[in-house]
Structure 1
């Protein structure tokens, strides 16, 4: 949603926010972010001005002699992001057609002093993103067209990632919102966590506004095995909670979407969650391809992925999340808006362990897609593979497939000096550490030394210099560096 100038300021602010220094030189910032010095000064002054708009008590971050005072950063990254978003045309356009009655592109252009061509240009990146889900922007009546469920999921992702719950930019009746949330919160595993409650609030706001604007979702017969004639799902309460008059069909469609929202993503994180137990029961109660598919995958995974710990695939947390991931794709049969897909890079290089896990799951999907019972995965199996891999990765033992780091310790030969360091390295199961041995020549992945002497002798081997006396805090950057080298060593480049 950011244009290039807003994105640049956001990236500079993020860089400032993540720095551990109190005073930072502008030349260092320019070098790290590959900007020219003058450009950095202009953008920093702009950021300084915006921080003053956010907080009246803001003291300037700009110092003499080309320095920046990071102690005067008065806004969090969320607050600053939201401040920038309110200046972004795509975000303004979304809030406009959500909050205004009878929205049109002409009225929008008039309100925000922009031309129609500017709107079209600045909204282009977002338009391309939404096209993946067959969602389009409309202008005669300003808004979006496509599957209403996908539109609402896309609106949630964009508004949540933009605001992170610090403020709700949607105008809704607060009493009505509370009633809706209180009526349906127990259906959501999200309701058991602090941030989950904020997410439910935003989902509820979007639903209420879309209903008010007469943009309704339809009931999908694919829900039947889960929701039809199931007393757990209440299809009558909504009519009493909504001020707008709804037909029986509209009540059914809107109610079903409320329940669908509890089942389209791997939301389960708490072991004694009643909604999780209910979901496992309901998916198992009637014959259906979602439960059959997950059952077959679990049998496969017990043998191929977890032969030493098959019980992992019987863990209710794993089972319920596999069901939710599968259910979303069973319903849509196409890509659908997902925060996971937005923030995680699907093309990120994998370690050997990740690659083996991914290949095994992919092999299962290739076989399953030829089974007529699982025809629903034929167009979505690459996304299902990614979803299953991400869910199972924390349980999967990657170490048999990984090569440990070989680390040579070249410090003063004194047990008191090296004791804490060896203890620290022993706790890192991906490192094999030993006293530096000259005869090993080039076999080390990393050398830890109190001198830069070895840098001259072995310029091609990374050297981490540890000064005496070192503190435990200085071992944290050592962990980060050794983990980076380990990940690089174990990356698969196929």
Structure 2
């Protein structure tokens, strides 16, 4: 929750954290002590935060909750307020949020006027903005208070504003007062096939609106030469942008409109895509870069070749070599940091990764890390790997679904002692098959070779009396297992995977 932690003040952030916890609790039978334990704060502090949160909920616009009491609040799962709604409610009251929004949308923004309108001193404003200042500096962006505005590479500023507005509004409301969502959609002239994903559509309209406001206010992209190097036929090849034209921007030169069009195209190409079916844009990226036979093509080919050395067999080699969506995503990572000349704001920068599975000791991570570190030393490849750690992290997550392809024994070996022809047992098999760090053993495999045994038979020692299973984790499985049992199974497997990869690291 780095975004909320940065924008909200401590008290507001605590209320938001509590609201998330309350929304995550199952059932209705929980107490202030339960909330206190989940938040890691004292009972008295929890009680005080809860009282303030309750006042917010009672005063929530159009919710008709004025008579809500604490007991009803804690016992009801029907409060018609989502986490996104409450986040936006708090953000709109935040000085930091209002300040950035004022910089973007204000006519001739002035720090003295902002302070007067919000009844705060300049020093108070600077103090409240301190966490955001630290975050912005990570991406070489600064806030100028003399001539109020954002200073830095305009490309990075726009990606910051894109993350800022999306993480704030998430489609709940349209953030800009100068134009409507409908009007912008009309100006964009999106094709029917570009409207299949409503979230992508909203985000595309949002990014274009940010670009429109910045261009009108005199903040323009300086050049897109690096993008043209990679995609010499860019606008012709992809035919995705028809919006930066003399009709929409009559006072902007044709040369600048071309640069803005190229940057907007770059925005649409750089997002990683994980298609359920054939994806035209990924195919086009692959074809264009392959036809050029440039540095990005060489880097992608070398990575695939290096990875193939560590796979189980030739069949897996071909599955990787023929995987166009995977290779297109690799290309996206390489060209995005090249065009941006380093790191830039992305959504995953704002999410807490503490509860995610740690793959940093896995074989894919080691392969990716060694490859990127080695290639980073070569001047030819360094500009594409300039955000070295970010590149490593992103590529290794691309490779995690292929964990079973590798020769290492890191995947958790699960032996199923279930009726394989029973439709009921199919659910757990499908569940396990969807976990990339799990390898389901074959029917004839020795259970003593497994890490975890999932059995619907209570006493499997009688069946395998000749096997030593004392060190095996045995999960007694109910055929009518509920969500909690599936979650507990996932937690068990995750723990075993973490322990196995830690052992692998220690052995290196």
TM over 0.5: yes
Q: 1:376-401 CA distances to partner (integer Å, 9 max, x unpaired)?
A: 14633322121111112112317852
- 2:445 is matched with none
1:269 aligned counterpart, secondary structure = coil
- 2:436 is matched with none
Q: Does 1:194 find its partner at 2:198?
A: yes
Q: Which runs of 5+ in 1 are unaligned?
A: 410-414, 450-465
- 2:493 is matched with 483
Q: Which runs of 5+ in 2 are unaligned?
A: 1-6, 433-439, 441-450
Could you tell me how far apart the structure 1 residues matched to 2:228 and 2:371 are? 27
Q: Does 1:262 find its partner at 2:290?
A: no
Could you tell me how far apart the structure 2 residues matched to 1:30 and 1:378 are? 44
2:143 aligned counterpart, secondary structure = strand
426-435 or 67-76, larger mean C-alpha shift = 426-435
- 2:471 is matched with 443
The answer on whether the counterparts of 1:225 and 1:286 sit within 8 Å (CA) in structure 2 is no
Could you tell me how far apart the structure 1 residues matched to 2:143 and 2:424 are? 58
- 2:398 is matched with 391
The one of 220, 227, 232 equivalent to 1:223 is: 227
Could you tell me how far apart the structure 1 residues matched to 2:219 and 2:354 are? 32
RMSD (Å) for aligned C-alpha atoms: 3.5
The one of 203, 206, 209 equivalent to 1:205 is: 209
- 2:237 is matched with 232
1:397 aligned counterpart, secondary structure = helix
Distance 1:219 1:179, change over 3 A: farther
Could you tell me how far apart the structure 2 residues matched to 1:259 and 1:95 are? 25
Could you tell me how far apart the structure 2 residues matched to 1:346 and 1:398 are? 26
- 1:126 is matched with 132
- 1:366 is matched with 373
Distance 1:291 1:447, change over 3 A: closer
- 1:276 is matched with 282
Q: 1:416-474 CA distances to partner (integer Å, 9 max, x unpaired)?
A: 9xx9998877664473146376997962446659xxxxxxxxxxxxxxxx9xx976455
14-23 or 306-315, larger mean C-alpha shift = 306-315
What is the CA-CA distance between 1:245 and the residue it aligns to? 0.4
Q: 1:324-357 CA distances to partner (integer Å, 9 max, x unpaired)?
A: 11111122332111112332639977348x6211
Could you tell me how far apart the structure 2 residues matched to 1:420 and 1:169 are? 49
The answer on whether the counterparts of 1:407 and 1:446 sit within 8 Å (CA) in structure 2 is no
1:309 aligned counterpart, secondary structure = helix
The answer on whether the counterparts of 1:148 and 1:217 sit within 8 Å (CA) in structure 2 is yes
- 1:9 is matched with 15
Could you tell me how far apart the structure 2 residues matched to 1:290 and 1:229 are? 16
Could you tell me how far apart the structure 1 residues matched to 2:77 and 2:97 are? 30
Distance 1:34 1:243, change over 3 A: same
Distance 1:398 1:236, change over 3 A: closer
The one of 319, 325, 332 equivalent to 1:324 is: 332
- 1:462 is matched with none
2:30 aligned counterpart, secondary structure = strand
265-274 or 1-10, larger mean C-alpha shift = 265-274
Could you tell me how far apart the structure 2 residues matched to 1:124 and 1:223 are? 34
Could you tell me how far apart the structure 2 residues matched to 1:408 and 1:176 are? 57
1:432 aligned counterpart, secondary structure = strand
- 2:453 is matched with 432
Distance 1:403 1:227, change over 3 A: closer
What is the CA-CA distance between 1:155 and the residue it aligns to? 0.9
2:381 aligned counterpart, secondary structure = helix
- 2:446 is matched with none
The one of 359, 374, 388 equivalent to 1:381 is: 388
1:350 aligned counterpart, secondary structure = coil
What is the CA-CA distance between 1:108 and the residue it aligns to? 1.3
The answer on whether the counterparts of 1:137 and 1:144 sit within 8 Å (CA) in structure 2 is yes
What is the CA-CA distance between 1:93 and the residue it aligns to? 1.0
Q: Does 1:246 find its partner at 2:256?
A: no
Distance 1:387 1:297, change over 3 A: same
Distance 1:491 1:236, change over 3 A: closer
- 2:117 is matched with 111
- 1:296 is matched with 302
